[in-house]
Structure 1
Amino acid sequence: MTITTQVAEQRKALELAVAQALELARAGSDAAEVAVSKTTGISVSTRYGDVENVEFNSDGALGITVYHQQRKGSASSTDLSPDAIARTVQAALDIARYTSVDPFAGPADRDLLAFDAPDLDLFHPTELDADRGIELAARAEQAALQADKRITNTEGGSFNSHYGVKVFGNSHGLLKSYCSSRHSMSSCVIAEVNGDMERDYAYTVGRALDDLRSPEWVGEECARRTLSRLSPRKLPTMQAPVMFSAEVATGLFGHLVGAISGGSVYRKSTFLLDKLGQQILPEWLTIEEQPHLLRGLASTPFDSEGVRTQARDIVKAGVLQTWLMTSYSARKLGMQSTGHAGGIHNWRIAGQGLDFNGMLKQMGKGLLVTELMGQGVSGVTGDYSRGASGFWVENGEIQYPVSEITIAGNLKDMLRNIVTVGNDIETRSNIQCGSVLLPEMKIAGE
């Protein structure tokens, strides 16, 4: 039996499980919603070419939420048998008897639901062959080890391949499902020179196996990144321009996600409170969300409440266009859900035409940040202070690696004063953007 046939049968069985749970919940509740998912996959790892781990997994879970007289009860189960589903439904009904009345609780509004969910080409499974996975992981690791004699140790290579089914239904008559897959490969090594040891990694990820970079690219990129970190220096305390590499720039905009989430807004715990419809980014900068991007790593036809997703501008010409709302946070704010239960879906931030080297030349002199550490960011005040490492740049060229520094500022100012976004787009994240240049930050060093 092929994977496609297996998954088709699995999908049908899971849809029946959701329908059963909804039918059982109907007698004791005013409304209900059920989500079920099942994931199957393989993970392998190697070290010095030897197999360290081969793990096959097949995990499923069902979650049900019932609403009765403005009270809410939730329960979940990893046992998807009919008897277990019945017990899970009853547990949710029992819990709802004891929770507090909440007038904002309830399933998503019917007119927002994804009754016409599109096919987004997310399902590209491959046969779960351990030998093939081991070969790919070992090749990635070997390419890194062979790149340079300064590569002295390895944390290994890895390969992962998973596919799954998600089903959602509620008492408004919605019952939708979709299948997806994800494959990835990585390598991590250690380099040493004059007693200084540094480590780094590289990876590739995609919906289809054919979307992955070659194992040799992964290994060579891993070696390049690791070697570039050798013999780091410290910096004196100063203020200077800072450029976030594309890989870490996604995290900068990730703080924006939290700041404009409906939950943060109704709790008044965001530094962007009352900024809807106002300028929060430079006027040349727009953030688009494209949840229906074919094969997108964060694409989805509906959110975790069954609300249909849709393309929209999050920020247009620097002006904040929307909060990111679930049904609950939308009701608290007197608005409508934006389909963001469960997170964001393919944010795309267009560059301004400069590649990575062009960005360095524009900065001229300053700090290129390639890694961030620590959690020193306040979503309430916007205060930002994190450990960093990267490279010192002069005359538009990288001079030497730096480490053991801290960069600090305030997110409100950092976002508003972005100088340039590069076209070296990082596509392996739910936020796709290039390198980001800021005019100045505090750098704490020696």
Structure 2
Amino acid sequence: MADKTFSFSPDTLDGVAARVLELARQQGASAAEADVSEGVGQTVSVRLSEVETIEYNQDKGVSVTVYLGRRKGHANTSDFSDEALSDTVRAALDIARYTAEDDCAGLADPQLLADDLPDLDLFHPWQLPVEEAIALARRCEDAARAVDARIRNSEGASVSVQANQFVYANSNGFSGGFASSRHSLSAAVVAEADGAMQRDYWYTAARHRDDLLPVEEVGRLAGERAVRRLGSRRVKTGQYPVLFEAPVAMSLLGHLTAAISGGSLYRKSSFLLDSLGKPVMAPLVTIDEDPLLLRGLASSAFDNEGVATQSRRLVDGGVLQGYLLGSYSARKLGMQTTGNAGGAHNLVVHSTGESLAELLAQMGTGLLVTELLGQGVNTVTGDYSRGAAGFWIENGVIAYPVEEITVAGNLRDMFRNIEAIGSDVLDRGGRRMGSVLIGSMMVAGGE
């Protein structure tokens, strides 16, 4: 496919990868792999209608991994010349010679490598002139500032257009790659009343510009979210139901994936050790991994090792059906890779059908969390304690905004106490999940 987005053709990247493998063989490597990539993009931001930044990025790189038996070495370069490639391979081999042998090191098993590389509709370049990008950013910020006269300041609005392509190849005969795009719009504004200020934001991201939210809607949501936080106060410390709004609920899914990822499991640093086939969440929770989702922001027919990815059910009725493993972690655990070298691919959490309003009504009285602060999560024990802001809910409706509070519990208990998952799913990343209602958590606020 002819395209002027990139400086190099796919054949050129493929040729560089093949040359790296040949150089590695000539220099004595028993096995090797190469990742050759190129990225281009433009980001424009405005603040208070004035252009603040115009950034262009264009980069390329070669990542080389070589093996001397079970010894591994790795090196990188941004130079595609034959001399630089040879030097990089030599550097990787030098590292391998001084590395201890590891019985689990090595390429992925050849029989697991992908041989079917479907077009997942991931590449939709947006040739956006900088003048038009500036105009879009201004429209977005203007829409946010127009929401309410109490919006007195702005952190700005930005428009980002990005495209990438890569080829991964290894000495077991695999070679594959594809081009992809990711575009985004965002706005963040500050509202002020009675000497107090509140900030909030909103953004949208997609492979294709037509899948982005309208510019004015992004701005309006940012403005409304900032204004509604004015007048925040603390709540009385106690045990309450907690509803995590969709944008922050996705962080809970991140804690799950961290706990069931190979690195955490073989290091025994996960609160979900030996949980395969056991209940880890409430029976109403079902989670799928869909790596072949068209236009998905985490879609790929193969993982970082060339292993074929497969659609599967990760959690079924609360029961954990699989881990997230690459070849190395799988060998450490005496298992087989799940095609997750590099992470999960499009996790989809099934909704129980309720809208956000219906979840609030179901909760009755409790806390709606719209922002989380800090990093107080221990994935070894599952202990969870984070600063939060949001809204106090009474009789199913918002009573007032709250801030300077902490929500605490243990992820094992939190997962099993999920009472509903909303239909307000956000589609702007590799996790698709609605708001999550948890039956009871400790909320620390005022006396």
User: Given the two structures, how large is their TM-score scaled by the length of structure 2?
Assistant: 0.98
Tell me if structure 2 keeps the 8 A contact 1:115–1:176: no
Match in the other structure for 1:286: 286
In 2, the alpha carbon distance for the partners of 1:12 and 1:396 equals: 59
In 2, the alpha carbon distance for the partners of 1:331 and 1:230 equals: 53
Which whole-Å deviations, capped at 9, do the CAs of 1:333-378 have from their partners, x for residues lacking one?
1111111111111111111111000000000000000000111110
SS in 2 for 1:419: strand
Q: Displacement, 1:62? A: 1.0
Match in the other structure for 1:10: 9
Tell me if structure 2 keeps the 8 A contact 1:315–1:321: yes
SS in 2 for 1:328: helix
SS in 2 for 1:408: strand
Match in the other structure for 1:381: 381
Q: Displacement, 1:3? A: 7.3
Which whole-Å deviations, capped at 9, do the CAs of 1:211-230 have from their partners, x for residues lacking one?
11111111111100000111
In 1, the alpha carbon distance for the partners of 2:7 and 2:304 equals: 21
Match in the other structure for 1:337: 337
Tell me if structure 2 keeps the 8 A contact 1:188–1:201: yes
SS in 2 for 1:158: strand
Tell me if structure 2 keeps the 8 A contact 1:382–1:410: yes
Q: Displacement, 1:253? A: 1.2
In 2, the alpha carbon distance for the partners of 1:331 and 1:112 equals: 14
Q: Displacement, 1:307? A: 1.1
Tell me if structure 2 keeps the 8 A contact 1:377–1:385: yes
Which amino acid in 2 is paired with 1:292?
A: L
Match in the other structure for 2:354: 354
Which whole-Å deviations, capped at 9, do the CAs of 1:370-419 have from their partners, x for residues lacking one?
00011111000000000000000010001110000001000001001111
Which amino acid in 1 is paired with 2:316?
A: K
The verdict on how the C-alpha distance between 1:8 and 1:296 changes in structure 2, with shifts beyond 3 A counting, is farther
The verdict on how the C-alpha distance between 1:115 and 1:7 changes in structure 2, with shifts beyond 3 A counting, is farther
Matched, 1:411 2:411: yes
Tell me if structure 2 keeps the 8 A contact 1:3–1:127: no
Which whole-Å deviations, capped at 9, do the CAs of 1:261-303 have from their partners, x for residues lacking one?
1111111111111111101112222110001100011111211
In 1, the alpha carbon distance for the partners of 2:284 and 2:131 equals: 50
In 2, the alpha carbon distance for the partners of 1:89 and 1:128 equals: 38
In 1, the alpha carbon distance for the partners of 2:62 and 2:393 equals: 52
Q: Displacement, 1:429? A: 2.5
Matched, 1:166 2:152: no
In 2, the alpha carbon distance for the partners of 1:6 and 1:139 equals: 26
Q: Displacement, 1:332? A: 0.7
In 1, the alpha carbon distance for the partners of 2:81 and 2:443 equals: 57
Match in the other structure for 2:188: 188
The verdict on how the C-alpha distance between 1:224 and 1:77 changes in structure 2, with shifts beyond 3 A counting, is same
In 2, the alpha carbon distance for the partners of 1:435 and 1:178 equals: 33
Match in the other structure for 2:141: 141
SS in 2 for 1:189: strand
SS in 1 for 2:16: helix
Tell me if structure 1 keeps the 8 A contact 2:284–2:352: no
Which amino acid in 1 is paired with 2:56?
A: F
Match in the other structure for 1:302: 302
Match in the other structure for 1:81: 81
In 1, the alpha carbon distance for the partners of 2:260 and 2:407 equals: 23
Tell me if structure 2 keeps the 8 A contact 1:270–1:381: yes
Which whole-Å deviations, capped at 9, do the CAs of 1:133-169 have from their partners, x for residues lacking one?
1111111011111221101011111000011101100
Tell me whether 3-12 or 412-421 shows the greater mean CA deviation.
3-12
Identity of counterpart residues, as a percentage? 52
Tell me if structure 2 keeps the 8 A contact 1:3–1:125: no
User: Given the two structures, how large is their TM-score scaled by the length of structure 1?
Assistant: 0.98
SS in 1 for 2:3: helix
In 2, the alpha carbon distance for the partners of 1:247 and 1:110 equals: 39
CA RMSD of aligned residues (A): 1.2
Matched pairs, number = 445
Match in the other structure for 2:49: 49
In 2, the alpha carbon distance for the partners of 1:5 and 1:370 equals: 42
Tell me if structure 2 keeps the 8 A contact 1:235–1:445: yes
